[in-house]
Chain A
Amino acid sequence: MATLEFNGKTFEIDEDGFLLDYNMYNEEWVEYVKGQEGIDEMTDEHWQLVKVLQDYYEKNGIAPMVRVLSKLTKFKLKHIYELFPSGPGKGACKMAGLPKPTGCV
């Protein structure tokens, strides 16, 4: 666990750089993660994916399955990787402020 200062905002993060609390999310967080995750510019598609993850999480309490994410965004998995090189879990969920994926990952 560590506290991070970025553009005047503070975030509590774990050793993998995931937010410790979804309620701490704000747009500065996206700015911070994008540098780490190999994203030059946030496009509309990046934002669309982040919003879908956040809506789904707020409604259901879980991150969507990859197939559900694909269906909701109309992005194929290949395109999700083009947007988020580390993939939907480590890249997109981290940026959206969702909890770290668990299980035998």
Chain B
Amino acid sequence: MAFISTGYNPAKPMENRITDIGPKDYHDFYPPVIANNKGKWSHHEILEPGVLVHVGDSGDEVYTVRVGGCRLMSTSHINEICDIADKHCDGYVRFTTRNNIEFMVDSKDKVEPLKNDLASRKFAGGSNKFPIGGTGAGVTNIVHTQGWIHCHTPATDASGTVKATMDTLFDDFQQMRLPAQLRVSMACCLNMCGAVHCSDIAILGYHRKPPMLDHEYLDKVCEIPLAVAACPTAAIKPSKQTLANGTEVKSVEVKNERCMYCGNCYTMCPSMPLADTEGDGIVLMAGGKVSNRISDPKFSKVVVAFLPNEMPRWPSMTDAIKKIVNAYSNGANKYERLGDWAERIGWEKFFSACELDFTHHLIDDFRQQAYMSWRQTTNFKF
């Protein structure tokens, strides 16, 4: 397409420039029933999976229908969301903190037509466009990252692993049969954008090979002290290298026995790439939570050291996740989050219940704090 100006003048970039206006005020987008009852809600109820009702002190009711969203979506999909909101909800709609979509109506008789409309919409391939669910003690949307769609440091894909996992756990998105809600999160490298470090189950992209060094360009495109300081295990030191043509250049040296492939150095220095088809894969973690309900918030712990990247459906990964979810739903008491359950029965029982192998990779060896994760007691089960 030929160039079409918005009115911006590249010769005078600062002229008519609008800045620091911030986001729009959320009050502008409240449905009237929300605006009228704001701060005066009496109680709420989950009527069925995906459908909530909130009752105001005034007696006003607002019914919310929550549907799954793929997070990465086209403008035509957003237009369709807007069409649904126009048709049923006077043009109002919201997105949740787990990237589900919520349609709200102000009376009970509007709920069924909305639900029927949502449930009827499918993509040509057959998948639901707007599956209803994600409430109560079930599995809701997977918080995830960019993967091979857009980032340069991933060790796996985000959208692909998430679709495969949600397909496997889909029944639990539309039911509330678990002991408590189960949060699954995904991050495609251990920068952990998102919530993997604090989720019931977490999928994490992982490398297994040290970085390659492009000595010819390293000093030109990298600030060497930053690459050295990026390493958590001090595996990197500055060094002089001689190129094939005899020139001596500044670069770095990596002590491979000290490297644990975090990829931090590549984040800081483009001449230290480490992504690798066979080397890269997935780590699973479990037992994290952010709420203060009964037990304090917890970090998730590594429970599977490595699973290969098996595009496009990651079967070994979804099998392992399914085993964890089944063992948890069979074993945990009501209200117990996955981490509460694992701590109550003991992690040695968690591994046997989930039929997961325990390997030496799972034993913490990072700095002094690792000591605290070993067992300093005779209390254990055979």
Q: Which residues from chain A sit less than 8 Å from chain B, CB to CB?
A: 20-22, 38, 57, 60-63, 85, 99-100, 102-104
Contacts and interface: CB of A to CB of B under 8 A. Distances in A.
Contacts of A21: 220
A61 B267 contact: no
B225 A99 contact: no
B150 to A, nearest CB: 13
Contact of B220 (A62, A99, A104): A99
Given A102-B270, A103-B267, A62 B13 contact: no
Interface string B180-224: 000000000001000000000000000000000000010011111
21 contacts: A20-B217, A22-B220, A38-B14, A57-B223, A60-B225, A61-B225, A62-B223, A62-B225, A63-B223, A85-B13, A85-B14, A99-B221, A99-B222, A99-B223, A102-B222, A102-B223, A102-B226, A102-B269, A103-B267, A104-B191, A104-B267
B267 A102 contact: yes
Contacts of B224: 61-62
Contacts of B269: 102
A20 B214 CA distance: 14
Nearest to B151: A104
Nearest to A21: B220
Contacts of B267: 102-104
A100 B226 CA distance: 13
A103 B268 contact: yes
Given A85-B13, A104-B267, A61 B223 contact: yes
Contacts of B14: 38, 85
B358 to A, nearest CB: 34
Interface residues of B, number: 15
Nearest to A101: B223
Interface in B245-290: 267-270
A62 B270 CA distance: 15
B229 to A, nearest CB: 9
Interface of B: 13-14, 191, 217, 220-226, 267-270
Nearest to A14: B221
A18 to B, nearest CB: 9
B220 A20 contact: yes
Nearest to A57: B223
A25 to B, nearest CB: 12
A38 B224 CA distance: 30
Contacts of A99: 220-223
Contacts of B13: 38, 85
Contacts of A60: 225
A57 B269 CA distance: 16
Contacts of A62: 223-226
Contacts of B226: 62, 102
Contacts of B225: 60-62
A38 B9 CA distance: 11
Contacts of A20: 217, 220-221
Contacts of A103: 267-268
A21 B380 CA distance: 60
B327 to A, nearest CB: 36
Nearest to B238: A61
A2 B222 CA distance: 18
Contacts of A100: 221
Q: Which 4 residue pairs across A and B have the least CB separation, nearest first?
A: A38-B13, A62-B223, A21-B220, A102-B268
Contacts of A104: 191, 267
Contacts of A63: 223
A62 B229 CA distance: 11
A82 B67 CA distance: 46
A36 to B, nearest CB: 9
Given A85-B13, A100-B221, 13 more contacts: A38-B13, A38-B14, A60-B225, A61-B223, A61-B225, A62-B224, A62-B226, A85-B14, A99-B223, A102-B222, A102-B223, A103-B268, A104-B267
Nearest to A12: B220
